[in-house]
Structure 1
Amino acid sequence: MALAALSCVVAATVGLHAPAGADVPKLSESGAYGYFSRVSLFGGPANNSGPAPTVTLPAQGSRTPVTAVVPSAKAQYGPAAILESGEQRVSTEGTPGPNGSTTSSASARGIRDAPLPLLYETVSSTCTARGSELTGSTSLAGQLAISTFAAPDPREGNPKDVVPMPANPAPNTERTGELTNIGDRFRVVFNEQIREGGLLTVNAVHMYLLGPIAIGDLIIAQSRCAVGAAAAPGGTTPGPSTPPETAPPTTVTAAAAAPPAREASASSDGSSTNVVPVALGASVVLASGGVLFLRRRKSHPFGNGGR
């Protein structure tokens, strides 16, 4: 049960940054990865964690699944973990080309009852390319929580302001909100589907951190399927990852006390350095059976004892 969120506009005293999504990797071939995060705090440098684990369909294709599995994954920014996950599993297979077909999938299992900013049970995405047809879907299993950098303890209090959330959300189902005590905004897209020519990218969860304190992205369970020429080998390049237009999003707001920020150098399993972590109160949580809810929590930096 776990997930974090924030950021976009930074005060003039700290400088300006590109909007969230500007540096998300763009991959031009069929494949999948478990997670990717890129975060800048307080005007500091943006740092990447991931993408990992990752698989790419070979140029000649593969009739057997190309897979990768890790028992756990963590995106660490100083003492704050923006993501801490259980098993992540990715797979891709098929034959590229105009008459071929490919299938890719990605899943991430969460850690229950852990005082982490990102709490969830299982999220997964899948896509299929067959001829010129591209299809994709996302599944949200069990409990999923969307929170700020403060580590919410699920044992504290009851959820507030419950909003229904489907277990199989429609493409580009969106939730937005603002932490009114500090003005930080966030946008979360479930089953984000991005079509670029013959390539379909499906992100089970994409959180856009919209500032002013933090700016960046967190993507969980990405699957990619390409048809025709788009299945040729490609590379990872920076670039925007903007979803197509969707219906007006549901908006949620929260107000809570924000503990003071602490400076620290950062390290991550996926490489991240020299960022300034921040602890914030309030949580937006997607509960069992597919429910998005907001709750207030006790204010203390990074959860129990700074973990």
Structure 2
Amino acid sequence: MQVGVIGLGSMGMGAALNLLRAPGLEVTGVDPRQIAQDAFIAAGGKAVGRAADLPAGQQAVLVLVVNAAQARAALFGPEGAAGSLAPGCVCIVSSTMAPVDARALAEEAARRGLLYLDAPVSGGATAATAGTMTVMASGSQAAFDAARPVLDAVAKRVFDMGREPGLGTTMKVVHQLLAGVHIAAAAEAMALGLKAGIEAQTLYDVVVSAAGNSWMFENRMQHVLDGNDTPTSAVDIFVKDLGLVTDLARAESLPVPLAAQAQQLFTAARGLGQGAKDDAFVIRVWEALAGITLPKAP
């Protein structure tokens, strides 16, 4: 089975490497960055700089780019993959986007005789590398069946959200409400403790041993302790994703005050020049406001 992976970033590279190890799959990665291409080739795969340069006859394509506009360009744009896709190829789109955009992409795929699986993922770079991502997917049964060899290689669990494209993306938007609010709350708690004189490592150790812990606190505040702002997921991602949350909530006439406030905090971090930094460093908003001293890297 010929499989293309579009986007060899922190999650795309992990997914592509797991596909490369899976039996019966011939994998080509797509990324404009030469360093990403070289890394995938060194692992034994094939790589090209443009989706249009994928070998003809692709039977599945996994799209792991940032947003709907990039996904549309990757599949159907002038330099997109469409011309290299075999009839009935399944487009597995894992970008976080608005449900309306997922439905529009699915309609375009259907017009071209392609299958479409709306398949956002969770788990970050660690799960992508381990092949244990969580997938929340929706689409036709034919799309699920065609995508199965790919999903088996990259995911620990696949949730079938239903037959309609857009349901998977809706679930991911709801998930991102929780993820963004949890990161913002974790940073706020860490900032308050530091401001009040609690030593950073002690603060962290107590929280992760007590009922107030969350996965996001334990994972992201370790980045703060390490002083490592290299992004596994960037501040800018949550500016975008929490915007999707508030857009969906507005369409459903549902107030989401916690998500809205968290988006403002991530927006403030971007305004401080932290947009490309790890999302844990939304804490630099409080650093700027309160003059707290963050832990430094060893």
Structure 2 length-normalised TM? 0.24
Structure with the larger helix share: 2
Which structure's relative contact order is higher, taking Cα pairs within 8 Å and 6+ residues apart?
Answer: 1
Structure with the larger strand share: 1
Q: Which has the larger radius of gyration?
A: 2
Structure 1 length-normalised TM? 0.24
